[in-house]
């Protein structure tokens, strides 16, 4: 089989650089071109010295990436992918957007939460939401894939089996989530400045985070009913990782055995979902540098509450790894390809 020519637009941001790391180990991929506005004409290894001799490609223009590639990944801030996606669509190229431009189905939600509009409504109707464990059949063969974000991957994966089997009430769901600082992007701010973040831990964008409507959209699709959640993200003083602790009221008569069976059945055969053994809990360290989502569930019988915890690497399953997984499904490749590197122990 000939190799797939792929390109990365925005290769010097954290998500783009992580994507490059994964694609360098993908046996069916040839990296055709990579681009950056801030570091154009520099070698990627000048920006990230760990790539020296692995990849010393010169960062070029977005136009060159599109011209040389059959699959284009865009790791750009919201609002910058729509025009590029339209160009790729006209040239019948696969476009996988790691940004937020195509994630929300309702334009009113995009206007409210992102302050932008849909430049081409027909294009948005063609986009498929790329959370493989739920929408694998829709992703296959598609040309425009909206790659989910980190919280929006961790929370639905934690709750899906309970929702699928109608084991929990859909009102009053709480998602209490923690993220490593790479989720804030490469550009420094006051809140992720080392003296502010180190030995600190705090909530941010309480009940106002942009991932809220995306999480609700996925949960509503899975349940067939409108779902509203309380979502509170926190920033951890670590580089990478998401830990999502989700609380939901059990329906009358639901037992712990019902919950355990539902999760085992729902995720049977899912290569990138690992249910942790009873008595253990998911940890961010166990999923670092991997495309796995570790999930643990506990039933608080005293209060009738489901506590579902998921852990992912926000840079891999929450961004670049899931994008590679989506490409594999889209092109009919082995879904695991390029994603089974054993992570470091420490």
Q: How far apart are CA 193 and CA 198, in angstroms?
A: 8
pLDDT tens track for 10-43: 999 999 999 999 999 999 999 999 999 989 999 9
Domain identity same for 224 and 257 = yes
Q: What does the pLDDT average to over 304-324?
A: 97
Structural domains of the chain, count: 2
CB-CB contact of 308 with 295 (8 Å): yes
Domain identity same for 167 and 301 = yes
CA Rg value for the chain? 20
pLDDT at 121: 87
pLDDT for residue 187 is more than 80: no
**Whether 150 is catalytic:** yes
Domain identity same for 44 and 190 = no
Domain identity same for 138 and 196 = no
Q: How far apart are CA 126 and CA 301, in angstroms?
A: 44
Q: In the structure, what pLDDT confidence band is assigned to residue 281 with cuts at 50, 70 and 90?
A: very high
Domain identity same for 325 and 281 = no
Domain identity same for 199 and 303 = yes
Domain identity same for 217 and 113 = no
340 within some domain: no
341 within some domain: no
Task: Tell me the residue range of the domain where 243 lies.
Answer: 151-313
CB-CB contact of 308 with 248 (8 Å): yes
Query: 239: closest CA among 304, 196, 285?
Result: 285
Query: Which residue is catalytic, options 88, 150, 246, 293?
Result: 150
266 within some domain: yes
Domain identity same for 138 and 155 = no
Domain identity same for 41 and 134 = yes
Domain identity same for 141 and 186 = no
Look up the CATH number of the domain holding residue 30.
3.40.50.720
Domain identity same for 202 and 115 = no
- The sheet carrying 29-35 orders its strands as 29-35, 4-9, 71-74, 94-97, 144-146, 128-129
Q: Using a pLDDT cut of 70, give the percent of the chain over it.
A: 98
Domain identity same for 158 and 301 = yes
Core vs surface per residue 262-276: b (16+ CB within 10 A) or e: bbeebbeeebbbbbb
């Amino acid at each position: 089989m000939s190799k797939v020519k792929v390109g990365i637009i925005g290769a010097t941001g954290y998500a783009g650089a992580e994507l490059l790391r994964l694609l360098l180990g993908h046996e069916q991929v040839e990296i055709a071109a990579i681009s950056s506005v801030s570091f154009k004409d520099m070698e990627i290894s000048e920006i990230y010295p760990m790539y020296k001799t692995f990849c010393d490609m010169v960062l070029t223009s977005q136009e060159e990436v599109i011209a040389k590639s059959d699959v284009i990944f865009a790791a750009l801030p919201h609002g910058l992918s729509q025009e590029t996606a339209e160009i790729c669509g006209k040239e019948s190229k696969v476009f996988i957007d790691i940004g937020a431009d195509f994630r929300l189905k309702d334009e009113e939600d995009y206007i409210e939460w992102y302050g932008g509009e849909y430049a081409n409504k027909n294009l948005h109707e063609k986009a498929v939401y790329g959370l493989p464990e739920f929408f694998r059949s829709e992703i296959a063969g598609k040309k425009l894939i909206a790659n989910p974000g980190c919280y929006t991957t961790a929370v639905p994966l934690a709750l899906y089996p309970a929702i699928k089997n109608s084991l929990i009430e859909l009102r009053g769901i709480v998602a209490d989530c923690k993220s490593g600082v790479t989720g804030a992007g490469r550009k420094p701010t006051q809140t992720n400045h080392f003296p502010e973040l180190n030995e600190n831990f705090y909530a941010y964008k309480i009940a106002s985070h942009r991932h809220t409507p995306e999480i609700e959209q996925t949960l509503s699709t899975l349940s067939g009913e409108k779902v509203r959640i309380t979502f509170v993200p926190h920033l951890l003083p670590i580089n990478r990782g998401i830990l999502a602790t989700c609380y939901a009221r059990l329906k009358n008569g639901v037992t712990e055995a019902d919950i355990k069976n539902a999760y085992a059945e729902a995720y049977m055969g899912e290569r990138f979902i690992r249910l942790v053994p009873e008595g253990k809990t998911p940890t961010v360290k166990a999923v670092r540098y991997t495309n796995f989502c570790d999930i643990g569930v506990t039933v608080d019988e005293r209060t009738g509450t489901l506590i579902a915890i998921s852990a992912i690497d926000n840079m891999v399953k929450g961004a670049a790894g899931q994008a590679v997984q989506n490409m594999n499904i889209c092109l009919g490749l082995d879904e695991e390809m390029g994603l089974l590197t054993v992570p470091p122990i420490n």
